[in-house]
Amino acid sequence: MAKGLSRQKKRDLVAYSFIAPNFIGFAVFTLVPIVFAFALAFFNWDGSNPITFAGLSNFKQLTGDVFFKAALKNTIIYCVGTVPLTMIASLALAIVLNQKVVGRGIFRTLSFFPYVASLVAVTSVWKMLFHPSKGPINNILYTVFHVPMEQLPQWFTGGLVLVSMILFSVWKYMGYYMVIYLAGLQGISAELYEAASLDGANTWQKFQYITWPQLRSTTFFVVVMLTINCFKVYDIAIMLAGGGSGELTISSTVLVYYIYQKAFIDWKLGYSSAVAMVLFLMVFVVTMIQFRGQKKYQ
Partner 1 sequence: MKSARKKAIAGKVLVYVILIIIAALMIIPFIWMLSASIKSDREVFQMNPFVLIPENPKWSNYHDIWTKIPMLKFVENTVFLTIVVTFLQLLTSSFAAYSFAKLEFKHKNTLFFAYIATIAMPWQVYMVPQFIMMRKFGLNDKLLAIICLQAFSAFGVFMMKQFYEDIPDELCEAARIDGMSEYRIYASIMLPLSKPALSTLTIFTFVNTWNDYLGPLIYLKSEAKKTIQLGLKMFISQYSSDYGLIMAGSVLSLIPVLAVFLCLQKYFVEGVASTGLKG
Contact 74, 254 (CB under 8 A): yes
If phi > 0 it is left, if psi is from -120 to 50 it is alpha, else beta; for residue 135 that is beta
Query: Per rule CB under 8 A, is residue 31 in the interface with partner 1?
Result: yes
Q: How far is the CB of 217 from partner 1 (least distance, A)?
A: 8
Using CB under 8 A, pick the residue from 67, 135, 157, 249 that binds partner 1.
135
Q: Find the binding residues for partner 1 in span 173-192 (CB under 8 A).
A: 175-176, 179-180, 182-184
Contact 153, 138 (CB under 8 A): yes
Burial class (CB in 10 A: 0-12, 13-18, 19+), 6: exposed
Q: How far is CA 76 from CA 9, 158, 227, 234, in A?
A: 51, 17, 9, 13
Query: Per rule CB under 8 A, is residue 195 in the interface with partner 1?
Result: no
Q: How far is the CB of 227 from partner 1 (least distance, A)?
A: 12
Query: Per rule CB under 8 A, is residue 56 in the interface with partner 1?
Result: no
Which neighbouring-strand residues pair with 44? 52
Query: Per rule CB under 8 A, is residue 273 in the interface with partner 1?
Result: yes
**48-61 burial, b for 16+ CB within 10 Å, e for fewer?**
eeeeeebeeebbee
Find the part of the chain contacting partner 1 (CB under 8 A) among 146-154, 155-163, 208-216, 267-275. Answer: 267-275
DSSP conformation class of 65: -
Using CB under 8 A, pick the residue from 79, 97, 161, 230 that binds partner 1.
97
Q: How far is the CB of 155 from partner 1 (least distance, A)?
A: 14
Query: Per rule CB under 8 A, is residue 277 in the interface with partner 1?
Result: yes
Contact 86, 177 (CB under 8 A): yes
Using CB under 8 A, pick the residue from 215, 231, 252, 253 that binds partner 1.
231
Q: How far is the CB of 62 from partner 1 (least distance, A)?
A: 15
Q: How far is the CB of 250 from partner 1 (least distance, A)?
A: 20
Using CB under 8 A, pick the residue from 2, 49, 66, 134 that binds partner 1.
134
Query: Per rule CB under 8 A, is residue 22 in the interface with partner 1?
Result: yes
Find the part of the chain contacting partner 1 (CB under 8 A) among 58-66, 67-75, 131-139, 154-162. Answer: 131-139
Using CB under 8 A, pick the residue from 6, 7, 21, 151 that binds partner 1.
21
Element (H, E) at 44: strand 43-44
Q: How far apart are CA 269 and CA 259, in angstroms?
A: 9
